[in-house]
Amino acid sequence: MDRLKQRELLHLLEEDSRMSAEQIGKMIGEPTEVVEQTIAALEAEKVIVKYPALVNWERVDDHPYVNAMIDVKVTPKRDVGFDEVAERICRFPEVKAVYLMSGASYDLSIILEGKTMKEVATFVSQKLSTLDSVVSTATHFILKRYKHDGVELEDRDEDHRMVVTP
């Protein structure tokens, strides 16, 4: 499959990962088998990493859920720089994302997911701050998610058009 079509396929899957190979094939004008082979190859190459569902937990009743972003200042180590401590932080299951940042007064940005505020607090005070190279942390709780992964969570665009028009 040519590169342009491959990119189109990726866009389609990114938008709706449950779309069938047959449907994608029809939409981009390729046989189903070719789509299947391409998807398999993209998975093997780790271009496609995962097929997650984007859940708006705020809509799920009684689901305790907090999100925090933590700015972390660390002392880089000779030879391994920031990588060693970053990799260590990545291993904690409550950590959803770790980024090395430029232009900020801190080095690593961490996105954390916990069931309660207390759980997050415990993680920061007992696990994160106690790491050797961590100099300081600043925790910001996310109060409300308006847009996530390119999707606006509230106020979905409805079709306001008339049923039949010229």
Partner 1 sequence: MSTQVKVKNRLSSTVQSLKPSGIRRFFDLAASMEGVISLGVGEPDFVTPWRMREASISSLERGHTAYTSNAGMLPLRVEIQKYLEERFSVSYHPETEILVTVGASEAIDIALRAILDPGDEVLVVEPCYVSYEPVIRLAGGVPVFLKTTMENQFKLTPQELETHITERTKAIIFCYPNNPTGGTMTAEEWKTLLPIIEKHDLMVISDEIYAELTYGRMHDSIAALPGMKDRTILISGFSKAFAMTGWRLGYVCASPDLLAGMLKIHQYTMLCAPTMAQMAALEALRHGRSDMERMIESYRQRRNYVVDGFRHIGLTCHEPDGAFYAFPSVASTGLSSAEFAEKLLMEEKVAVVPGDVFGESGKGHIRCSYATSMEQLKKALERMERLMGRLS
Q: Indicate the helix (H) or strand (E) that contains 73.
A: strand 66-74
The least CB distance from residue 78 to partner 1, in Å, is 45
Binding site for partner 1 (CB under 8 A): 8, 11-12, 16, 23, 26-29, 157, 159, 161-166
Q: Which is nearer to partner 1, 2 or 159 (CB)?
A: 159
Residues 142, 89, 93, 17, Cα dihedral to 10°:
70
Question: Which residue is listed with tokens 């079709």?
Answer: 159
The least CB distance from residue 166 to partner 1, in Å, is 5
Among candidate residues 156, 151, 164, the one with its CA nearest the CA of residue 53: 151
The least CB distance from residue 19 to partner 1, in Å, is 8
Q: Which is nearer to partner 1, 79 or 159 (CB)?
A: 159
Q: Which is nearer to partner 1, 12 or 66 (CB)?
A: 12
Answer for the pair 34, 6: CB distance below 8 angstroms, yes or no.
no
